[in-house]
Amino acid sequence: MLCWCLVLLQSEVMMIRVLFLLLGLGTIGLVMAAGGGLVFIDAASTIVVIVPSVLLAAGYHGPGALGAAISAADGEEPVEAGLGAKHRQVLQSLRALLCACGGLGFLIGLVHMLQNLSDPTAVGPALAVALLTGLYAVIASELIVAPLIGRIQVLGPSEAVVGQQEED
């Protein structure tokens, strides 16, 4: 009976987490859709930000480390201090790479825009690509990866416990 209650409680906690995640992202989606939601969707901008960031993070830390860090942040199991520090480092690298690729995509979009100043109809789409790469980078790094880093910290031992273990 107690085990069933713990499973139910754990699933309720997970449902509440998912609900808040969906409400938060849904609010952003509604604001974006109010001005015409399709203008915020651009495959090239998404590819410029997400693909190089994930590939570079996997190349630096290894694909297994990246997958393990994301899985650990998504789970409910406590994370050991040393492993938690490694997972945080992997996710912090991914967060920084997302911001860097967003900045590079912004600059690439501006270069395309400046090359087409003679054609006023080409300026708008190039500027949109430039701005959307920055938007996608902020959404991915700050609204997705940053909470994963925080989740790893929550699942890890407190600093007081780690300090006591080092003294023993």
Residue pLDDT, tens place only, 33-53: 777 767 778 888 999 999 999
Mean pLDDT of 70-96: 90
Degrees, nearest 5: CA angle 89-71-30 = 95
3-state secondary structure of 36: coil
Spans of all domains in the chain = 40-157
* Cβ(49)–Cβ(97) below 8 Å: no
> In sequence order, what E strands does 95-154 have?
none
Across the chain, mean pLDDT equals: 83
In 10 A of CB 5, how many CB atoms? 9
Percent of the chain with pLDDT over 70: 84
Tens-place pLDDT, residues 58-74: 999 999 999 999 988 88
**Residue 53: C-alpha distances to residues 64, 85, 97, 101, 153 (Å):** 15, 20, 5, 7, 22
In this predicted structure, the answer to whether residue 133 has a pLDDT above a threshold of 90 is: yes
